[in-house]
Structures are given as structure tokens and as C-alpha cells.
Structure 1
Amino acid sequence: MMFDLRTPRVISALVLREMSTTYGRSAAGYLWAVAEPVAGIAILTAAFSFMLRDPPIGNSFALFYATGLLPFLMYMGVSGKVSQAIQFSRPLLSYPRLTFLDAVFARFLLNAITQLVVAFSVLGALLLAQDTRPVIDFGAIFLSFAMALSFAFGIGALNCLLFAFLPSWQMIWAVMNRPSFLISGIFFTYDSMPAVVQKFLWFNPLIHVIGQMRKGVYPTYSGVYVTPWYVFLCAAIPAVAGIFFLRRYHKKILNEM
């Protein structure tokens, strides 16, 4: 597919359609996008503050769990939306001016922007509520979100292909992805785990994403294990594979769906 002047207009139209369909025409749809992480942080804070005397880092349970949950939900939300791009835009794909890549990029763009606005809003509110003025490394936070979004796009692009060819993969992936909530460092820090466990956890890209986020919020947290290039590599491989095969087999996918 050659990039031309019509492509931005097509993607913009798809973004507007996605906004109307997903979030509706009122503010209630966007409030739900904010309510999900807020509710999650509140539940984790209430549950663990009764069991633990102090959070693993800092003195705020809410801030600690926010630094884990926000990038995790960003990955989950964006990857899930991108994975369903073909299914969502199926009625429009018969039009010659609309390509699979337009549908994928439009879904990624809208949901990435939405997740970024939500994450900065929630994180900003929590930081303002702190008794002390925290020292924030915005570069580290932006890098964490870039890692989360790139990994989300890569997984989403590959799953977009697999969902089209293997409908059962959608259920299999949902089951396989469930443990990620427990092993990505939302409740704990990588450094607090035994060495034998760290060897396995290191290969989870989300461990690096969340560790990078905590480096940006907690100046004393070193996070020496965080390896951004590894996350970007884990994002690039499925992204290239997914886009390549979507372009190669898009006609076959359209005829079989």
C-alpha cells in the first residue's frame, strides 16, 4: 500500500467513527475510561493497605499501584482494541479506499491518545494529592508509555492477523494473557523477587515497562534491570510479522470472514 494524501483523511474518518461507536456522543463514555483505572487503584490500595504496613516503594499505596496499573491497562486496552480492528471495521473493508492498515492505525491512534490522557490525568491527580512534592522524571515516564504502546501495537497487529485466520485463537489468547496481571510487577517490584524468579520474570516485557514507570516517579528506584531495547524488539517482531501478512493475505482474509 502506497501512502497518499487520502490516507490521513481515511484514518481521521475511522477515528471519528471509533469515537462515536466506542465512547458515544456524551462524556459518560470517556468517564468510564477514567473510572476503570481509578477503581482498580482504589481496590488494590484498600486491599493491600490492610495487609502491608508500607508499600514496596515510597509511602503511598495508591501511587505505587498506579505506577503499575496505568501502564498495564494501557497495554491491555490498546492491544485489545488493535487486535479487533478487522472485526470492528469489517463492514467497511469492501470499499477500495479503505485498507486493513488504515483500520489498524486508526484504532491504535484513538485508543493510544485516550489511554495517555487517562494515565496522565490519574497520575497527575495522585501526585498533586501527595503531602510532599515528588521529583518526577517526565522523560522516564514518557519512555515507559512509549514502551507500553509499542508493545501493545505489536501484539495487537499480530493478533489482528491471527484472530482473522484462527477464530479460536481469540479465546486461547484471552486465557494465556490472564496471568500477566499477576507476573508483570503491579503488586511487587522485580528487585524483591528471589533470583531464580527474576530470571523468568525478566523475559516479560511488561516487567520492564512498569519498572521504567517507577524509575520516573521514584527518584531512589534504580531499576537497573529495565531494558527498553528488549521491549521495543518484542514489539517490532510481531508488528512487522502482523503487518506483512495482513498486507499479503488481506484479500483472502476478506473473502473468508
Structure 2
Amino acid sequence: MNSRARRHPLSRTRGLRTLGALIFREMATSYGKSPGGFVWAILEPVGGIALLTVIFSLAVRVPPVGSSFALFYATGLLPFLMFLDIARKIAQSLSFSKQLLFYPGVTFTDAIFARFTLSCVVHAIVFTTVIIGIVLYDRVELILNLPQIVTAFFMAAGLGLGVGCMNCFLMRRFPIWSNIWAIATRPLFLLSCIFIPFDSLPEGFRNVLWFNPVVHIVGMNRSGFYSTYRAEYVEPTYVALVAASLFGLGLALLFRWHRDLVLR
């Protein structure tokens, strides 16, 4: 019993070292090989927001909320992109770390949480950089509600982790699911209230759209930037339940089938 107690801190240290090594490998692979590296992670949302701002400012003089088109779209687009990117990265965990999973000290959960940790850090940097840039460029005066913004960040991260874990199993077990998922998520960009606030939609449409968890994430994030925006429809508990259910089911299936899936 005493020897077990002595080995426990050592195994925990090894687990942290494995996680750290996987994170550094992910950084080198994702941002170290392409020209520009990490800069492209910032330029992608900046380019999308700039394009949307130009297009919609030509048709509408005032954004649906606030006075800055760029800030309005950024508060919707950034959490949406974060959710999609984390879900995609987690779904590819087994494929990305396939060779390393044959080592006894590396588990599939290490691969998942390494990608999840790095993605959260990258999106936190991107989010902060883009928002500060917009505030300085448009000279926007903000009264931030940081708890709501942080809550939205964790909602997006949690949902991305849950969806990613479920897709990690489905895409390896049933390869056709990758195509199905790609088709299913294409309209999500238009159905997540990035362009139009949830409250401005017809009631019948709102009743259906409410079940899209990304709508709650976008609403929570915007309420943290606009003190006059009352996102009373937002239910963080609903998003947490969806994320936890998908994460738990996906993880259980991966524990059961991960050895077979790695060999595919």
C-alpha cells in the first residue's frame, strides 16, 4: 500500500509530462511548418469579420446591436469559430496521434486533452487580439461583463470538446460520418444568430432555433459586450447538459473501441 502511494505522484508527473510533450508537438505541427504559422490563426477571423463588415455596412447603416459592425459580428463569429475548430481538432485526435498511441505511456485521452488545451489557449489569444484591435480601430467604448464573456468561452470550449469526442468515435468507426457532418454543419453558420440577434427572429423560428446550443453561446457572449442586450433566452445549463452528454457517451465509446479504431 505504501509503495502504491509512493508511485502515485510519479505516475501523475509522467502523465503531465506526456500531456506537455503532446502539446508542444501539436504546436510545432500546426503552427511551425506553414509560412506565418500562428499569424494565420489571427488573420482568418480578422479577414472574415472585415469582409462581413464591408458587405453589410453597404446595405445597413447601423448594426442590429451597438454602433460597430465589426464588433457585432466578432462577438458572434469568434465563439462560433472556436466551437467548430475545437470540435474538429478533437475529432482528429486519434488520426493525428496515431503513431504515438502505440507507446505504453501515451493514451488516447492524452491526445484529446493536449489538442483541447492548446486550442483553448490559441482561441483565447485570438479572441483577445481581435477584440482589442476592433476597439482601437473603431474607437468603441465598452462596458464589459467579464463573467458572462468567460462563461461563453467555457460554453464554446465545452461544447467543442463534447461534439469532438463523439465525432472522434463516429468518424473513425464510420468514415462516411465525416461527409455527413460536413454537410450538416454548413447551414450552422446561418442558424447560430451571428448575423441577426435571436430576439429579432419570428417567434416560430425562435422556438426551433432555441435548441441549437451555439445560439446560447453567441447570446451569452454578446450580452457580455452590450449592457443593453438582454439575452434572457440563454440557458448555460442546457449547453452544459448537451456538452456533457456527448462527451460522456463519446468517451465511453472510445474506451470500448479505441484499440480497434487506432488500427484502422
TM-score (norm 1): 0.96
2:223–2:230 Cα contact (<8 Å) kept: yes
Cross-structure match for 1:15? 23
Q: Counterparts of 2:182 and 2:230 in 1: how far apart (Å)?
A: 33
Cross-structure match for 1:167? 175
2:68–2:140 Cα contact (<8 Å) kept: no
Q: Counterparts of 2:140 and 2:150 in 1: how far apart (Å)?
A: 22
User: Is 1:189 the counterpart of 2:197 in the alignment?
Assistant: yes
Structure 2 counterpart of 1:205, which letter? P
Cross-structure match for 1:55? 63
Instruction: Please report how far the alpha carbon of residue 98 of structure 1 lies from its aligned counterpart in structure 2 after TM superposition.
Output: 0.8
Q: Counterparts of 1:148 and 1:40 in 2: how far apart (Å)?
A: 19
Instruction: Please report how far the alpha carbon of residue 164 of structure 1 lies from its aligned counterpart in structure 2 after TM superposition.
Output: 1.2
User: Is 1:139 the counterpart of 2:147 in the alignment?
Assistant: yes
- Structure 2 alignment gaps of length 5 or more: 1-7
Q: Per-residue CA shift, 1:32-87, capped at 9, x if unaligned?
A: 00000000000100111111121000111011000011101111111111110001
Cross-structure match for 1:86? 94
Change (3 A) 1:245 1:33: same
User: Is 1:42 the counterpart of 2:50 in the alignment?
Assistant: yes
Cross-structure match for 2:221? 213
- Pick from 199, 206, 229: which aligns with 2:207? 199
Cross-structure match for 1:154? 162
Structure 1 counterpart of 2:106, which letter? L
- Pick from 220, 225, 237: which aligns with 1:229? 237
Q: Counterparts of 1:187 and 1:252 in 2: how far apart (Å)?
A: 43
User: Is 1:124 the counterpart of 2:132 in the alignment?
Assistant: yes
Change (3 A) 1:8 1:168: same
Q: Give the secondary structure class of the aligned counterpart of 2:99.
A: helix
Change (3 A) 1:25 1:171: closer
Cross-structure match for 1:95? 103
Instruction: Please report how far the alpha carbon of residue 28 of structure 1 lies from its aligned counterpart in structure 2 after TM superposition.
Output: 1.4
Q: CA RMSD in A?
A: 1.4
Cross-structure match for 1:72? 80
Q: Give the secondary structure class of the aligned counterpart of 1:4.
A: helix
Instruction: Please report how far the alpha carbon of residue 252 of structure 1 lies from its aligned counterpart in structure 2 after TM superposition.
Output: 2.0
Q: Counterparts of 1:181 and 1:57 in 2: how far apart (Å)?
A: 19
Instruction: Please report how far the alpha carbon of residue 26 of structure 1 lies from its aligned counterpart in structure 2 after TM superposition.
Output: 8.0
Q: Based on CA coordinates, which of the two structures has the bigger radius of gyration?
A: 2
Q: Counterparts of 2:51 and 2:178 in 1: how far apart (Å)?
A: 28
Instruction: Please report how far the alpha carbon of residue 27 of structure 1 lies from its aligned counterpart in structure 2 after TM superposition.
Output: 7.9
What does residue range 22-33 of structure 1 map to in structure 2 within 5 Å?
22-24=30-32, 28-33=36-41
- Structure 1 alignment gaps of length 5 or more: none
**Total equivalences in the alignment:** 255
Cross-structure match for 2:255? 247
Q: Counterparts of 1:132 and 1:177 in 2: how far apart (Å)?
A: 33
Instruction: Please report how far the alpha carbon of residue 126 of structure 1 lies from its aligned counterpart in structure 2 after TM superposition.
Output: 1.4
Instruction: Please report how far the alpha carbon of residue 249 of structure 1 lies from its aligned counterpart in structure 2 after TM superposition.
Output: 1.7
